[in-house]
Amino acid sequence: GHPFQVNKEGHLVIGGLDTVGLAKKYGTPLYVYDVSIIRENCRAFVNTFKELGVSAQVAYASKAFSSIAILQVMKQEGLSIDVVSEGELYTALKADFPTEKIHLHGNNKSIDELTLAIENNIGCIVIDNFYEIELLNRLLDEHDKNMNVLLRVTPGIQSKTHQYIMTGNEDSKFGFNLANGQAEKAFTQLDNHDRIHFKGLHCHIGSQIFETDSFTKAAEILFDELAKWHSVYNYTPEVLNFGGGFGIRYTKEDSPLPLAQYVDELVLTVKKHISHLQFPMPEIWIEPGRSIVGNAGITLYTIGSTKEIPGVRNYIAVDGGMTDNLRPALYQAKYEGVIANRADQPNTTEVSVAGKCCESGDMLIWDLPLPEVNNGDILAVFSTGAYGYSMANNYNRFSKAAVVFVENGQDKLIIKRETYDDIIRNDLSYE
């Protein structure tokens, strides 16, 4: 079910390299990305738009994994990026990302965030609320600048996913609701504005979505509104941004669609509506995060202690946990894994993989089929490339794990392992 090979020693291989060797060289826990998979995923989106002859921007949602190196890969692949904070924007600027391809999101953008965005002439700000319109207006005047914007609207769709990552429903902290006229009111404040160039609409309906229906429905709702704005204000959009959310495979229970299919269906729906309304074809923007980096990354751990509760369950503990992968604890997210140093052996037992944090909820995988497990074995957990490192934390004063990129048989450290001096870096004395 995972895209990685096993070599003749029976070791799991990623990007042509032996994972056991990588674990030795860099220590564990270790995040490893196969960059060729990242590039394939980028190209699946970009090329599908090209083949369909549709002008588009594929903006990598950098919240899924932000670092200088990954943003350099996105730059090489010609993607745009979305950032949702000053820290993500700062990282993009430090990666020398072309500023006109940066889009800023956020439901409570600060003066500092907006100022950094304005000073660096970023490509687009996605406006989320009325307060932001006021603030942006004032800051653009102060800096004597203009800015492209999209309006984030809430189409009121319940996508089939976990409640915490469901973002398009009516009762959401994000965006302007369409149903109660808020979006239209925002539009009238922005249309024909001197400094704010209103380009179109944005919606994001949720994350880890496995069907195209929700996207098609969102598009329909957007076009219902646009039809109204067209007849009342003679407005046609230049850009429609449908957000991210394309699902990936974590376990055998997940059956994602090919990435191209999401694009195909979206374009088809948009074309249907614009021909009906006689609009010119807008640019289509999307914001995939998980589907670009998720399945390209794995995490390597060293197995330490084990605990058997006869007739109940066997636990194995690894040298990481909710500090490097918060998703199981936060969303009951499921993962699969193998013993990397004996990846050729059949599964003969079932164990539950515990982290080492002082917290019972710190479990990475329940009831994972594995061969016989010994301490010192390397556990590889698959599909940890999205929202793994980016949600890593220092609970129990664990240091954040290192990140390695592999490509064409070469490995390269792209984020150093935190040291304990890093951990106490900002601590000040009180004696």
**Catalytic site positions:** 358
Write the CB contacts of 8 (distance below 8 Å, at least 6 apart in sequence): none
Q: Which is nearer to ligand LLP, 83 or 339 (CB)?
A: 83
Minimum CB–partner distance for residue 45 and ligand LLP (Å): 11
Q: Tell me: is residue 359 an annotated ligand-binding position.
A: yes
Q: Which is nearer to ligand LLP, 243 or 282 (CB)?
A: 243
Write the CB contacts of 93 (distance below 8 Å, at least 6 apart in sequence): 99, 116, 120
Q: For residues 340 and 19, is the Cβ–Cβ distance under 8 A?
A: yes
Q: Tell me: is residue 288 an annotated ligand-binding position.
A: yes
Minimum CB–partner distance for residue 379 and ligand LLP (Å): 20
Quick one: CA dihedral 379, 385, 387, 388, positive or negative? Answer: positive
Alpha-carbon span 150 to 198, nearest angstrom? 6
Query: Which amino acid type is present at position 64?
Result: A
Q: Which is nearer to ligand LLP, 29 or 388 (CB)?
A: 388
Q: Tell me: is residue 331 an annotated ligand-binding position.
A: yes
Q: Tell me: is residue 249 an annotated ligand-binding position.
A: no
Cα Rg, the chain, nearest whole Å:
23
Q: Tell me: is residue 289 an annotated ligand-binding position.
A: yes
Q: Tell me: is residue 387 an annotated ligand-binding position.
A: yes
For residue 82, what are its two tokens?
């979305």
For residue 121, what are its two tokens?
């002439």
Q: Tell me: is residue 337 an annotated ligand-binding position.
A: no
Q: Which is nearer to ligand LLP, 245 or 282 (CB)?
A: 245
Q: Which is nearer to ligand LLP, 22 or 282 (CB)?
A: 282
Alpha-carbon span 231 to 225, nearest angstrom? 10
Instruction: Report the chain's terminal Cα–Cα distance, integer Å.
Output: 56
- Binding site residues, ligand LLP, CB under 6 A: 61, 64, 82, 105, 165, 167, 204, 207-208, 243-246, 287-291, 327, 331, 386-387
Minimum CB–partner distance for residue 292 and ligand LLP (Å): 8
Distance of CA 270 to the CA centre of its chain: 24
Q: Which is nearer to ligand LLP, 245 or 351 (CB)?
A: 245
Q: Tell me: is residue 430 an annotated ligand-binding position.
A: no
Closest by Cα among 282, 318, 315, 278 to 299: 318
Cα–Cα distances in angstroms (integers) from residue 428 to residues 71, 127, 371, 400, in the given order:
33, 39, 48, 21
Alpha-carbon span 173 to 192, nearest angstrom? 27
Minimum CB–partner distance for residue 299 and ligand LLP (Å): 14
Residues 221-249 as b or e (16 or more Cβ within 10 Å = b): bbbebbeebbeeeebebebbbbbbbbbbb
Cα–Cα distances in angstroms (integers) from residue 333 to residues 119, 162, 189, 383, 401, in the given order:
39, 9, 41, 11, 20
Minimum CB–partner distance for residue 185 and ligand LLP (Å): 21
Minimum CB–partner distance for residue 237 and ligand LLP (Å): 18
Q: Which is nearer to ligand LLP, 245 or 337 (CB)?
A: 245
Residues 254-293 as b or e (16 or more Cβ within 10 Å = b): eebeebeebbbbbbebbeebbeeeebeebbbbbbbbbbbb
Minimum CB–partner distance for residue 71 and ligand LLP (Å): 15
Closest by Cα among 218, 190, 193, 191 to 203: 218
Cα–Cα distances in angstroms (integers) from residue 56 to residues 168, 210, 221, in the given order:
22, 22, 20
Mark the binding-site residues for substrate, compressed into ranges: 290, 327, 331, 359, 387
Mark the binding-site residues for pyridoxal 5'-phosphate, compressed into ranges: 245, 287-290, 387
Mark the binding-site residues, compressed into ranges: 245, 287-290, 327, 331, 359, 387
